[in-house]
Amino acid sequence: MKNTLVILIVLFITYGCKEKKDAEVVKKELPRIAIAGLAIESSTFSPALTHEDAFHAKEGADVFSYYPFLSPDSLNRKRAKWLPTLNGHALPGGIVTREAYESLVTKTLDMLKKNMPYDGLFFDIHGAMSVVGLDDPEGDFIIRIREVIGYETVISTSMDLHGNVSKRLAQHTDLITCYRLAPHEDALESKKRTVDNLLDRLESGKGKPKYKAWIPVPILLPGEMTSTRIEPGKSLYAKVAPATMQKGIVDAGIWIGYAWADEPRNHAVVMVTGDDKNKVTITAEYLANSFWDVRSEFEFVAPTTTFKESIEKAISSEKHPFIISDMGDNPTAGGAGDVTWTLTEILARPEFKTKNGPSLIYASIPGPDFVQKAIEIGIGGKIEATAGADIDNRFASPIKLSGTIEAIEYGDKHAEIEVVVKVGSVQVIVTKKRKPYHKEIDFTRLGLTPRKADIVVVKIGYLVPELYDMRADWVMALTPGGVDQDLNRLGYKRINRPMYPLDKEMKKPNLDAQLIPLSNTTSIME
Ligand SMILES: [Zn+2]
């Protein structure tokens, strides 16, 4: 009897432990998470076209290089079986060709098919892609992904706050977030939050948040008026993080939207996700009303005026370097980047005709033929050739630059080859392909010393941190181009109206939260 009891106990322990072990093995099975996404903001008010190579698409394991928080030794890398497909990030530009879009989407879908099924998908997009003949490309993309991977996978979407959230994008994603700072100093933190939220929901077994509140806010403003470095953007966006700390809320976001495309989805949006219906709804309405209440307080982040006034102010100023944002053709907002209008105005002025004039650095103008000729002549030689206005020649013709070649640099990812040519007292950067000049090293590696220059003119909107820290004074010039900051000049035909501030006297819109059906249902869960 005693022996039987011992045997029974041993059997129980052995069997019981085995069961426990099995349970542990099941628990430790890592979630399978795919990664995909395309990021670009593309202006439909620019004659430029964006082709597939502009996305510099990375495939498979190369995709991890975009995300330091998924490096091989990172905690997050070990929390899932990651299955990256294709991610492409393009500089802002003109509308994406249909061929480029279809090719990138098809490649992504084919790669997704190889490793199904998925517990999760990290969908990394900007949200302001325009494609020839297709509305709401990100909405189209996520639907086509759903058709492949199904409707149970938890999709967590990361966006730029200058992206657009259509209702169908809101429906087909489960988790969604966007940056909370402009300039986007929190881009990586924001993408990491997208992944953290996804992992938390999968590991806890909670899955898709039960509620998604979506509120279209009929406001359309340029990014240059909505920096979070100054009010009212600063206080408005400061409300987002505390809102997400409430129990029952997973995440919240305020999207400014993208002003240089003409579709019904181009407007601001507030979205909140979570499991507490009441809190999700109230929080979304609180953020939407907070935005609406400060709508008239948004102003350009720096003094903004015509180019003529800007350059006159810079010449007479005692503060150097005096930086002028050449905003209309800003390649980081979607301008073609080769508008010659501003440079033509500068070189026509008598002040800059001789070497002894005020020193001015102009960044930049693409001119592949000019660059080729400069290579043939070499550093120190004299050159006379034209550059620019190959794509956007609506405002000025290709510009003839006659001067001395001071530098030729090879190997930049975007520009490929860069040439500095001195014309009078102006140092002009001519590139083989367009490139934004955002960092001090972009200048110093060409032998330029922007801190010592009297004037620096850059194709940019608000100054990104390094240039902002460098400036002694700064104005933003309302120059012409594909991303003209004077929205009244753009001539919208398809955005929803009324829209603030285009329709300044509009009545208060309905800012009630709209609950969006979950991605695996067609109706609202009650
Ligand atoms: Zn942005």
User: Which SS3 state, helix, strand or coil, does residue 327 take?
Assistant: helix
Interhelix angle 307-316/341-348, rounded to 10 degrees, is: 50
**DSSP 8-state assignment for residue 507:** P
Read off the pTM: 0.84
Interval 331-364: pLDDT, tens? 888 888 999 999 999 999 999 999 999 999 999 9
C-alpha 217 – ligand 1 centre gap (Å): 18
C-alpha 416 – ligand 1 centre gap (Å): 24
Interval 271-304: pLDDT, tens? 999 999 999 999 999 999 999 999 999 999 889 9
Rounded Cα–Cα distance for residues 330 and 349 (Å)? 23
Rounded Cα–Cα distance for residues 251 and 273 (Å)? 5
Report the length, in residues, of the chain: 526
pLDDT at 22: 46
pLDDT at 1: 44
**DSSP 8-state assignment for residue 256:** -
pLDDT at 224: 86
C-alpha 374 – ligand 1 centre gap (Å): 35
Contact 202, 31 (CB under 8 A): yes
Rounded Cα–Cα distance for residues 261 and 483 (Å)? 10
C-alpha 131 – ligand 1 centre gap (Å): 18
pLDDT at 193: 98
- Annotate 105-117 with b (16+ C-beta within 10 A) or e (fewer): bebbbebbeeeee
Positive or negative, the CA dihedral 218, 222, 224, 225 is negative
pLDDT at 21: 45
C-alpha 332 – ligand 1 centre gap (Å): 9
Beta bridge partners, 270, equal: 215, 254
Beta bridge partners, 212, equal: 273
C-alpha 68 – ligand 1 centre gap (Å): 20
Walk along the chain (526 residues) and give the pLDDT tens digit of each residue.
Answer: 445 544 444 444 444 444 444 444 445 689 999 999 999 999 999 888 999 999 999 999 999 999 999 999 999 999 999 999 999 999 888 999 999 999 999 999 999 999 999 999 999 999 999 999 999 999 999 999 999 999 999 999 999 999 999 999 999 999 999 999 998 999 999 999 999 999 999 999 999 999 999 999 999 999 889 999 999 999 999 999 999 999 999 999 999 999 999 999 999 999 999 999 999 999 999 999 999 999 999 999 889 999 999 999 999 999 999 999 999 999 888 888 999 999 999 999 999 999 999 999 999 999 999 999 999 999 999 999 999 999 999 999 999 999 999 999 999 999 999 999 999 999 999 999 999 999 999 999 999 999 999 999 999 998 888 999 999 999 999 999 989 888 888 889 999 999 999 999 999 999 999 999 999 987 765 5
C-alpha 62 – ligand 1 centre gap (Å): 24
- Annotate 224-238 with b (16+ C-beta within 10 A) or e (fewer): bbbbbebebbeebbe
C-alpha 435 – ligand 1 centre gap (Å): 17
Positive or negative, the CA dihedral 446, 450, 453, 456 is positive
